[in-house]
A and B are shown apart, each in its own frame.
Chain A
C-alpha cells in the first residue's frame, strides 16, 4: 500500500435488488485528498458513498482502505465517518453528548473523553453550545456539530453528503472555508457528494464526474472546467453549444458544416466540439442567426439565437450594444476556442 492508493474501489458493482446502480467502478484516491463525486441525481454518487461507508452491501468488486480489504467489514468497524445531508444529530442528546457518542462507544471515559469532546467543539466554534439540544441550533450550527461528531473519531476517510446544499449563500462560503481548514489541519481524506458543479470546483482537489453508475471523467477542477472529455461533462459544466464531429465537419441541423478556423493540434480525432456561451463571437462570422431570447445578467448579457445549425447560446459583455429580439445577427463558433470532446453521448 502506498499513499497513492489509500482508498481504492476495484470493479465495484452496487445494486438495489436487481437494479444496478453502479457498475464496474474503478477509483483510486490518495491519502489526504479532497475528492468530489459530482453528477446529477441518480448517477450513483450517493450509492458509491454509502458503499464506502459500509451502509450498502457490495454486489461485486472490492473496497480497500489503508492497505486492508474492507469490502465485508461492517460499517461500525471501518473507521469511516459520514456527515449526513440532514446532519442526523441525535435529537434526545445535547451537543456535548452527540460529540461524545462515538468516543464513549470506543470506551473513552473521564477527563480524556471530556478533553476530546471540548477540543472537538472548540474546533468548530461551538464550545458555548455544549448543553444545547440540536433542535435549538441553526442549520449551520447543527452541521458543525455533525462535523465535530465525525472528526473526533479520527476517521480514515470522511464522507460528506451534499455538505453545502442546505445552507444559504453566506453560510455556504463559511462552511466551505471550514471544511478546507479542517482538511488541511487534520490531513483527513475527504470525499463529498454533490450535484452542484460550482461546489465541486471550489472545494475539491479532484473531481469525479459520474453518470448512470459510471465514471465519466476524473480530473482537477481546471481539467473538468476547461477540458471536458465528453459531451455529458461539457454540458454539465456549462458548455451549452455542443456539436458532434464527422470527418472533420460539424454535424448540425443544417447538415455537415465546415469548421470556422482550424482545430488545435491536440484533438485531431475529436468526436465533438463544445463552446461555452462566452466563447461564441457575435456580430461577425460565417453563420447567421435570429435573436429569440435575451436576458441581462449584470456584467454580461445572454442571447438565445435561432440558426440553421440549431439553437445557439451566446454571452457577451454588457458594455457591448444590445441586440433586439428578432434581430438578424451573424456569429462565429471559433474552432480554436472549442473544447474537443473524445466521446459524444
Chain B
C-alpha cells in the first residue's frame, strides 16, 4: 500500500477515535472500583452507578433539568408552531428579520446569552431563579422548534386547508383538523431536539442557576469541584445512553433525520 492510499483510512480512524474516544473513556471509568476518576479503571464495579441515584442534589437537579427540558420545549412549541405557520404561509413584511431574530440564540454564544439575560432581565426585574431558567430554556429551544416545524410545513400543500374550509371547517378548525395531524412528525422531532438541547445546556444555565436551584449539568460541574470520584462519569454515561436511546427511537419511528 502506498502512503496515499493509507491517508484517507488513517485520517478517518483518527477522526472517529477523537470523537468517540473520550466517550468510551468516560463509560469505562464509570465501572471503576477505585475511589477517584481515572483511566484505565481500577477493577470493575457498579458502585458508582448505584451512587448516582443516592446523591440528593443530583435528584433535585435532574428534576429541574427534566422540568426545563419538557416545560421549556413545550412552551417553545406553543410559540413556535404559530410562528412557523405564519412564516411559511403568509408573505409577511419583515419575515426575514423575524426568522433571524428567532434563530439568534443558536448563533450567539451561550455565555453571552446567559450574561445578557442575567444583567438585563433577571437582575433589573428581580426574576426568580426558576422562572428565569424556564424563560431562557424556552428562548434557546425556540429556534429549533421554528426550524423543524417550518420544514415540515413547507412540505405540506396549503390547498388542503382551503379544501377543509370549503367542506365547512373554519380556518382555525382547518389548522387543527388537517395541518396539525400532518406535521405531527415534525412536531415530535422538534420536541426531541428541543429536549436534548435544553437538557445538555450548560453556559446559560450556569449564569442563571442560584442557591439550591441548578440544572443537572451545572450540578455535575459543581460536584466535581468538590468530589473527584467516578460517580460523575457514571452519571454522564447514563445521560449519554438516555440521549442516544431517545434519538434512536425517534429515528426509528419518526424518521427524525428528515426534519433536522
A positions within 8 Å CB-CB of B = 53-55, 75-78, 80-82, 84, 86, 88-92, 101-102, 105-106, 149-150, 153
Contact = CB atoms under 8 A, between A and B. Distances in A.
B157 A102 contact: no
A91 B160 CA distance: 9
Nearest to A75: B165
A80 B182 contact: no
22 contacts: A55-B166, A75-B166, A76-B165, A76-B168, A76-B169, A80-B166, A84-B159, A88-B157, A88-B159, A88-B163, A89-B160, A89-B163, A90-B163, A91-B160, A91-B182, A92-B178, A92-B182, A101-B164, A102-B167, A106-B168, A149-B163, A150-B166
Contact of A153 (B159, B165, B167): B167
B162 interface: yes
A23 to B, nearest CB: 24
A90 B178 contact: yes
State which size class the interface on B falls in.
Answer: 10 to 19
A196 B80 CA distance: 43
Contacts of A75: 162, 165-166
Contacts of B173: 105
B181 A102 contact: no
- In terms of DSSP, what is the predominant structure of the interface of chain B? helix
Nearest to A149: B167
Contacts, number: 60
Interface in B119-173: 157, 159-160, 162-170, 173
A90 B166 contact: no
Given A76-B166, A105-B167, 19 more contacts: A55-B162, A75-B165, A76-B168, A76-B170, A82-B163, A84-B163, A86-B159, A88-B163, A89-B160, A89-B163, A90-B178, A91-B182, A92-B181, A101-B164, A101-B177, A105-B168, A105-B169, A106-B168, A153-B167
Contact of A53 (B157, B166, B178): B166
Contact of A82 (B160, B166, B177, B181): B166
Contacts of A86: 157, 159
**5 residue pairs, one from A and one from B, having the closest CB atoms:** A102-B167, A88-B163, A105-B168, A88-B159, A92-B181
A338 B208 CA distance: 87
A74 to B, nearest CB: 8
B200 to A, nearest CB: 33
Contacts of A53: 162, 166
Contacts of B166: 53-55, 75-76, 78, 80-82, 150
A49 to B, nearest CB: 12
A297 to B, nearest CB: 38
Nearest to A155: B166
B162 A90 contact: no
A184 B181 CA distance: 37
A143 B88 CA distance: 27
Nearest to B167: A102
A102 B159 CA distance: 16
Given A91-B182, A92-B182, A84 B162 contact: yes
A166 to B, nearest CB: 13
B169 to A, nearest CB: 6
